[in-house]
Amino acid sequence: MAKQIDRLIHEPARLQVVSQLFVIEAADFLFLIRQTGLTFGNLSSHLSKLENAGYVEIKKDFIGKKPHTMVSLTQKGRRAFNAYMKAMKNVFEGLPQ
């Protein structure tokens, strides 16, 4: 059972980030900070882990002269989150009320 739960997504802060990215196409750092309540450093660290796993794509460009980073969930990330939701549903299924 525990093997079915993706620990990378299961961590509360990352779960918040992935949930946010799941319902949109893409967002920048500022938007994610405001929506999740994470600090810049914290968010950056969690996104690096998700990027290394291939769950998120990070694109860097410029708005005027300022650097700007857009983050989106990859297809692999979407599949992983769908599987995570299914696994979590199964965990509690059949429990007495």
Partner 1 sequence: MAINLKEIQRQSWEQTSRDGLMEVAVGLVLLAFAVVWLNTALFVPFVAFLPFLSVPVMDRIRKRYTYPRIGRVKVPKQDPKMTVGIFIYAIAALALVATSLYFVFGEGFTTAVWYRSMPMFAGLIMLGAFTYLRSKTGSQRYVAFAVLCVASAFVFSLQDFGASMMANLTAYLSFIGCLFVLIGLATFITFVKRTPIAGAGHG
Binding site for partner 1 (CB under 8 A): 12, 15-16, 19-20, 22-35, 40, 63-64, 66-70
Q: Compute the least distance from the CB of residue 25 to partner 1, in Å.
A: 4
Measure Cα distances from 87 to 15, 70, 90 in Å. 14, 29, 5
Q: Compute the least distance from the CB of residue 40 to partner 1, in Å.
A: 6
Selection from 23, 20, 22, 51 nearest residue 33 by Cα: 20
Q: Compute the least distance from the CB of residue 97 to partner 1, in Å.
A: 20
